[in-house]
Structure 1
């Protein structure tokens, strides 16, 4: 009985103090700035809590696995791995991260995201 209580306590405290990444969620890639030119995009990207990166399809179950991501708070960077697009692979600096805005510098381009969920 004591073991069960201990396990239950650990689970409760683990859930109370668990922190999710501020990057996790649904983001709209609004624009990309490259060589001084702004390009409108309008692509939804889902940064799953399990670190999968999903590009939604026409239906909820229609999404495409695009790769994985990892947020590094101390380095203010995000690392991507994509089997689909190799230029997407690597560690990239985060220029801005708030509850609603994310800007990533990737291959001499600035990617501007707005959080939707």
Structure 2
């Protein structure tokens, strides 16, 4: 996404008359990114955490992730982007919102993700 943004900026500098084309391409890329985030954000499900082993399992109707928690990013105390490595060493990313988790579990998840770094 960063490469695409830099390329868009360079094209905008080289061809300022085509600002409308750059705006359309940038809007389409943003929409595609947003759909990717929505597809990786479960609406309801179960989260199993083992904080001592940094193990997490997330099950919902749309996704099923389980594995070692290797990193996380907390976005404005309302969303967490979890990076999970499964048994096959494949890395996956899932997003959890604060409204989807009870408050005590949200705090435990934040502490666990901060320790995973």
TM norm. shorter chain > 0.5: no
TM range (shorter): 0.3 to 0.5
TM-score, scaled to structure 2:
0.33
